[in-house]
Amino acid sequence: MTSLAARADELRAQIEEANYRYYALDDPQITDAEFDVLLRDLIELERKHPELQTPDSPTQRVGAAASQRFAPYEHARPMLSLANAVSVDELRAFDERARKLAGAGVEYVCELKIDGLALALDYRDGSLTRGGTRGDGRAGEDVTANLRTIKTIPLRLRATPFILRQAQDDKTGLGMAEAPTFLEVRGEVYLRKSDFERLNVEREREGLPAFANPRNAASGGVRQLDPALTAKRRLSFFAYQLAVDQGDRSAPKTQWDALARLRSLGFPVNPHVHRAATLDEVIEYCMNSEKKRDSFDYEIDGVVVKVNDFAQQERLGVVARDPRWAIAFKFRPREGRTKLVDIAITVGRTGTLNPSAVLTPVQIGGVTVKSATLHNVDYIENNDIRIGDTVLVTRAGDVIPRVVGPVLSERTGCERKFKMPQRCPVCGSDVDHPPDEAMSRCTNAACPAQAYERLRHFASRGAMDIEGIGDVMAQQLTELNLVRDIADTYKLNESALADVPRMGKKSVENLLRNIEASKQRGPARLLYGLGIRFVGTQTAQILVDDFGTIDAIAGADEQTLQRSEGIGPEVARSVALFFKQEPNREMIERLREAGVVMSAPKRVKTGGALSGKSFVLTGTLPNLTREAAAELIVAAGGKVTGSVSKKTDYVVAGSEPGSKLIKAEQLGINILDESGLQALLE
Ligand code: IVH
């Protein structure tokens, strides 16, 4: 075998492998840009030496073969892909050829290249009958049931003014075309960036690995075996091609008109389309779109430039696998590969331990990237990322660069698995990783990394309610180091506050008065204000009702805590772990010394209107916050608990109630709305 033949073989093997990993496993190990280079090399080699071309060469097909999971969807007309232009020179070459072959007066339509999955949709007599993926361009997968769940894909075409006009203009008496008898529409299914973020948050919560990018999530979503799972991904769709339009005698003759027709038939068409009379205009559109790339709520990876006139398109035709009437101008890639040198931990404002990748600096899309997020331990484990790995890194949208995964073929065996530290790297306290949570957290309320967030929570309405300590003040107090932990709030005085910019004498006085007043809020609000994980207002109230003092709660072990109604093992564990930390105990002492009330006053009303009654709150009430409602109930002698049981007397339900309402209905418990509660209180 000649060395050229060997090279062609090698390229083919690499491309096949990449295709398999990308399409079948959804687990790419080389970047799109690297793939493009391989394919270009092979195309070039086969063009120069046609004798090297084999019938099964990846250059002979478009995309990957469809999987066996779905029935085949044969395309009536092949679904083509596009040749790429990666430079202005290549755009120029495309333009020159188009003008030479199509004749004078070539006009272009520029569209954003949506980074999703190409689809073909069939409509018969106005109804969606079938839809499929591109597959290898000849046959894809029939995913009709899944596509029906995508809200932006019309199930019926709109009876549009366009069609009505046509019907009225129809003087031939040959019948009125209400809807085209057969229509094939092509477009891109994609996932909005906002929906992608939401989906990954949900997956994280469910302990599932996060998706690498919106495109992978969209492509997996379309190819679910259960349409309900497709629906859950909230996919979107843009139509960009009217492939067949039968039964319409005034079918559009240009791409521009086809887009208008698609729009009027009810399809979502991307609004950022531009008709360009000159190549300069095309280039300007490409440059502008690349600049604006992050401002769209969907990923785009380039611009598609199409000859507008269909007759000219016809004349230009198709060579090999690409039409000569269109080209994809590709933006600079925003993926790269580099070495993961180490994994560093930073402590977030809420105490989360955030792993971040320390990378050998790499250029990605014009920016030097030397660190990237790794989300959490589960992400690292699920994606089998090890220190020393060569990794794929993306810089998608405005978010921080992210490590996608390791390049397994580059493993040497010297890589190290990562272990989350057991102690907070900032303050040395215990780290907690609740079994069904993604994040590990520092349990020390006095941890310097958390000062701001903790103070803000401590001063908030439902906690110690210190008017004057909002977002901005909390930030100033912590940044100036006046408040290192919440107990420091009570050390503030006039001279300390003199350091805070833009604080007049009057505001200082007010703030100090409010701080003083907060000492009397009582142990339940204090307990909530400590910001212990899983301890909301209701849980805090229950614990204080049962134990009476902060000290008693701090002294209780997990079993004892669990005896309280609605306190499960998770909450008990978190409370006990909090009070086990020496810095936390010491902070409580300082709060006590400052005069903060730590034990419950005698129940205000023993014979109150709600005396002895047990309440559960769920959902959002129209006027009262949950804390306010709980306070009213307690003040009237009632008790608020966290979960519904046979012992519950009333469930107060607002909008979007949770499972508590269902349970209450099952148990036949009285259900009140806010006005029902007010009536009881009166
Ligand atoms: S036109 C022959 N228009 O990019 C024309 N494609 O490599 C084929 N794409 O397979 C497609 N946005 O998945 C066209 N506005 C757009 C597009 C678009 C995204 C995708 C599509 C296609 C690939 C081309």
Residue 388: CB partners within 8 Å, gap ≥ 6? 339, 340, 341, 412, 414, 415, 416
Residues with a catalytic annotation lie at 113
Better pLDDT: 328 or 347: 328
Residue 47: CB partners within 8 Å, gap ≥ 6? none
| Residue-level pLDDT at 168 | 46
Fold of the 76-163+172-330 domain: D-amino Acid Aminotransferase; Chain A, domain 1 (3.30.470)
Closest atom of ligand 1 relative to the 323 alpha carbon: 2
Which residue's CA is minimally distant from atom 13 of ligand 1? 118
**Domain at 614-681, CATH from 3.30.530.20, 3.40.50.10190, 2.40.160.20, 2.30.30.760:** 3.40.50.10190
| Residue-level pLDDT at 164 | 41
Residue 118: name the closest of 65, 81, 156 by CA: 81
The rounded distance, in Å, linking the Cα atoms of 526 and 539 is 12
The rounded distance, in Å, linking the Cα atoms of 345 and 236 is 36
Amino acid at site 491: K
Closest atom of ligand 1 relative to the 322 alpha carbon: 2
Best residue for ligand 1 mutational test, from 32, 108, 113, 329 (most atoms within 8 Å of Cβ)? 113
The domain spans of the chain are: 2-60, 76-163+172-330, 335-410, 443-593, 614-681
Q: Is 307 in the pocket of ligand 1 (CB under 6 A)?
A: no
Best residue for ligand 1 mutational test, from 184, 240, 329 (most atoms within 8 Å of Cβ)? 240
DSSP notation for 104-173: S---EEEEEEE-SEEEEEEEETTEEEEEEE-TTSSEEEB-HHHHTT-TTS-SB----HHHHHHHHH--S-
Q: Is 219 in the pocket of ligand 1 (CB under 6 A)?
A: no
Q: Which of 18-27, 246-255, 274-283 has the lowest mean pLDDT?
A: 18-27
| Residue-level pLDDT at 173 | 35
Residue 274: CB partners within 8 Å, gap ≥ 6? 109, 110, 281, 285
CA distances from 401 to 95, 199, 331, 577 (A): 35, 18, 17, 34
Q: What is the pLDDT of residues 20-71, one digit of tens each?
A: 777 656 667 788 778 878 888 888 888 888 888 877 777 765 444 455 678 9
User: How many angstroms is it from 342 CA to the middle of ligand 1?
Assistant: 39
The rounded distance, in Å, linking the Cα atoms of 532 and 588 is 13
Closest atom of ligand 1 relative to the 134 alpha carbon: 10
CA distances from 476 to 182, 484, 492, 514 (A): 66, 11, 13, 17
User: How many angstroms is it from 79 CA to the middle of ligand 1?
Assistant: 10
User: How many angstroms is it from 82 CA to the middle of ligand 1?
Assistant: 7
Which residue's CA is minimally distant from atom 23 of ligand 1? 81
Of the chain, the percentage scoring pLDDT greater than 90 comes to: 51
The rounded distance, in Å, linking the Cα atoms of 180 and 248 is 6
CATH of domain 335-410: 2.40.50.140
Q: Is 120 in the pocket of ligand 1 (CB under 6 A)?
A: no
Q: Is 81 in the pocket of ligand 1 (CB under 6 A)?
A: yes
* Angle, vertex CA 659, rays to CA 655 and CA 661, nearest 5: 60
Q: Which of 260-274, 448-462, 632-646 has the lowest mean pLDDT?
A: 632-646
Q: Is 80 in the pocket of ligand 1 (CB under 6 A)?
A: yes
Tell me the pairing of strands 650-653 and 614-618: parallel
Task: Print burial letters for 255-268: b (CB count within 10 Å at least 16), e (below 16).
Answer: bbbbbebbbebbbb
User: How many angstroms is it from 23 CA to the middle of ligand 1?
Assistant: 17
Q: Is 82 in the pocket of ligand 1 (CB under 6 A)?
A: yes
Best residue for ligand 1 mutational test, from 35, 81, 86, 259 (most atoms within 8 Å of Cβ)? 81
pTM of the model: 0.55
Q: What is the pLDDT of residues 532-545, one digit of tens each?
A: 988 988 899 999 98
| Cα atoms in the Cβ-side hemisphere of radius 13 Å centred on 483 | 27
Q: What is the pLDDT of residues 96-137, one digit of tens each?
A: 999 999 987 899 999 999 999 999 999 998 899 999 999 888
CA distances from 50 to 35, 54, 136, 577 (A): 21, 9, 22, 71
Of the chain, the percentage scoring pLDDT greater than 70 comes to: 92
CATH of domain 2-60: 1.10.287.610
Q: Is 330 in the pocket of ligand 1 (CB under 6 A)?
A: no
Q: Is 195 in the pocket of ligand 1 (CB under 6 A)?
A: no
Which residue's CA is minimally distant from atom 16 of ligand 1? 113
Best residue for ligand 1 mutational test, from 134, 188, 263, 285 (most atoms within 8 Å of Cβ)? 188
Fold of the 443-593 domain: DNA polymerase; domain 1 (1.10.150)
Helix, strand or coil for residue 419?
Answer: coil
Q: Is 84 in the pocket of ligand 1 (CB under 6 A)?
A: no
pLDDT band at residue 248, thresholds of 50, 70 and 90?
Answer: low
The number of helix segments (H) and strand segments (E) in the chain equals: 25, 24
Element (H, E) at 579: helix 569-580
Provide the greatest CA pair distance for the chain. 99
pLDDT band at residue 165, thresholds of 50, 70 and 90?
Answer: very low
Residue 394: name the closest of 11, 15, 34 by CA: 34
Q: What is the mean pLDDT of residues 142-153?
A: 93
